[in-house]
Amino acid sequence: MAPRICGTSTTLASLDASLQTCSRLAAHTTRSFSLTCRNEKITKNRYEMVKWIKERATNSFDKSHPTYLGPHADQPFPSNPLFRSQSVLSESMKNRIYTQVMDHGVAMKAVSEEMQVDVRRVAAVVRLKELEHQWKLEGKKFATPYAKAVMKMLPQSRWAQGDMNIPHEPINDIPVHKLSMQQLFVPVSESRHFTREDAAKAFHEGLLSADKRSPQRELIEIERQAAEKDGDRAKSIEEFRKEAQEAEEAYANELARKSELEDANIKKQQKGRFEFRIKRYNSENVGKYGRARNVTGWRYGQALQERKRGMVKIPTSVP
Amino acid sequence: MVVKIRLARFGRRNSPFYNIVVAHARTARNSKPIEVIGTYDPIPKADPYGNPKELHKDINLDVDRARYWVGVGAQPTDTAWRILSMASVLPKKMVGLQREKPLKPIDANSVKIH
């Protein structure tokens, strides 16, 4: 049977012929109004969607935690099972980290241990909160409703004192080193005890072992001590906190001493709207040819490289 | 030739930066000086973590060399004088137009009119 065109009784062959003879007429015939009747029954997909809305979604839009469409609780995109949403620090957790570190002067390592957050994340939270305070002082506007909306859409880690909290991140994660990405076949005698140190050596002479590359070595050590026969977790935690506090205080003192030394070299004078800071320095330390890199002042007879192509201007350190 | 202590303007458009230099008076502003004794950054800055409304300007100065050059007769320009006086190399000097002090109202009893 020849295939039928909706609304017409012509065959495809005759249609083809008419296309060649008169394109305007052909366009008219192919663009004819569809006379197929509407499907009375809804499709399966639509039925499931309606069912889902009735069952799950009606009351969940104004909850504080997100409801994802995916089959798993942490899968935001239903057809992408590889994308799993990871929880972020809740606002209360961030506030507590900041107050512990800045107001109570608790060592960052100790806060990290207590709240089970990576110490680098603790440092980042403190820095960002500090920036937020700075912005408040500057009178900048905050996109608070936006931030709240975004936080609503993400799963959040929560922490309460004294509870058995779920750790925000595991302590035994290590960054993957480029040298350890290769596939190696190392013949080893059966009697030999092949340790992590040996594995690192096999990859590269200079590569540290996984134990040493971990950013949270002390926390792992606590766990190791607790797992021993007569290990006391509480005692080792206390020891760790004490050591962290001492180390941080020593570091803070050293920083204070350095800045004091620097301040002694600077004479401050308030004049009108601005303070003038006069720093003494030795203008004779200019290197062999008078062009040392860290010398004060614009240099003569040497082109500035800052406009050169490919010069990276992203700062590598923070003040 | 007169030796001067003066500023040499470097930096970019709208972001000046000055070297405090010792140079012969007749040489060009940015020519190679006898000596660079300091810098002056005239753009006010806030401390990175301090109050953003409290601004400061940075001056780097080799005070000993400045003293030496003043001692051997180098003549600071007005601006250089102001900077050197802040570093207490030189006494303070009133520079520029001085505002006249308004006269006090005359007490009629203390004035004799012949």
Among chain A residues, the shortest Cα distance to B65 is held by A283
Nearest CA to A297 out of B58, B87, B47, B74 is that of B58
Q: How many Å apart are CA A135 and CA A291, to the nearest integer?
A: 39
* Confidence band of A58 (pLDDT split at 50, 70, 90): low
Query: Is A137 in the B-facing interface, judged by CB distances under 8 Å?
Result: yes
**Residue B83 Cα, gap to closest chain A Cα (Å):** 9
Are A282 and B58 inside 8 Å of each other by CB?
no
Residue A131: Cβ within 10 Å count? 11
Report all structural domains of chain B as residue ranges with CATH numbers, in order of start.
Answer: 3-86 (3.30.1320.10)
Query: Is B39 in the A-facing interface, judged by CB distances under 8 Å?
Result: yes
A-interface mutation test, from B39, B83, B89, B90, most A Cβ less than 10 A away: B39
B-interface mutation test, from A133, A276, A282, A289, most B Cβ less than 10 A away: A276
| Residue B73 pLDDT > 70 | yes
Tell me what the mean pLDDT of segment A280-309 comes to.
79
Residue A27 pLDDT: 47
* Range with lowest mean pLDDT among A17-21, B59-63, B77-81: A17-21
Positions of E strands within chain B: 3-12, 15-24, 35-46, 55-61, 75-76
Q: Which residues pair with A182 in a beta bridge?
A: none
* Confidence band of A317 (pLDDT split at 50, 70, 90): confident
Q: Which residues pair with A270 in a beta bridge?
A: A275
Residue A77: Cβ within 10 Å count? 13
Residue A270 pLDDT: 92
Percent of chain A with pLDDT over 70: 87
| Residue A34 pLDDT > 90 | no
**Residue B113 Cα, gap to closest chain A Cα (Å):** 44
Are B38 and A281 inside 8 Å of each other by CB?
yes
Name residue, tokens 């001056």: B59
Query: Is A271 in the B-facing interface, judged by CB distances under 8 Å?
Result: yes
Close Cβ partners of A124 (under 8 Å, ≥ 6 residues apart): none
Tell me what the mean pLDDT of segment A37-46 comes to.
82
* Range with lowest mean pLDDT among A117-121, A158-162, A275-279, A287-291: A287-291
Residue A59 pLDDT: 57
Residue A63 pLDDT: 61
Query: Is A45 in the B-facing interface, judged by CB distances under 8 Å?
Result: no
pLDDT digits 0-9 by tens, A83-142: 988 899 999 999 999 999 999 999 999 999 999 999 999 999 999 999 999 899 889 999
Q: Which residues pair with A93 in a beta bridge?
A: none
* Confidence band of A29 (pLDDT split at 50, 70, 90): low
Residue A15 pLDDT: 46
Percent of chain B with pLDDT over 70: 100
pLDDT digits 0-9 by tens, A240-284: 999 999 999 999 999 999 999 989 989 999 988 999 999 998 888
Tell me what the mean pLDDT of segment A183-190 comes to.
93
B59 → closest Cβ in A138, A273, A279: A279
* Range with lowest mean pLDDT among A17-31, A40-54, A122-136, A215-229: A17-31
Are A277 and B54 inside 8 Å of each other by CB?
no
| Residue B58 pLDDT > 80 | yes
**Which chain B positions have a beta carbon within 8 Å of A279's beta carbon?**
58-61
Residue B21 pLDDT: 95
Tell me what the mean pLDDT of segment A191-216 comes to.
92
* Confidence band of A182 (pLDDT split at 50, 70, 90): very high
**Residue B64 Cα, gap to closest chain A Cα (Å):** 8
* Confidence band of B83 (pLDDT split at 50, 70, 90): very high
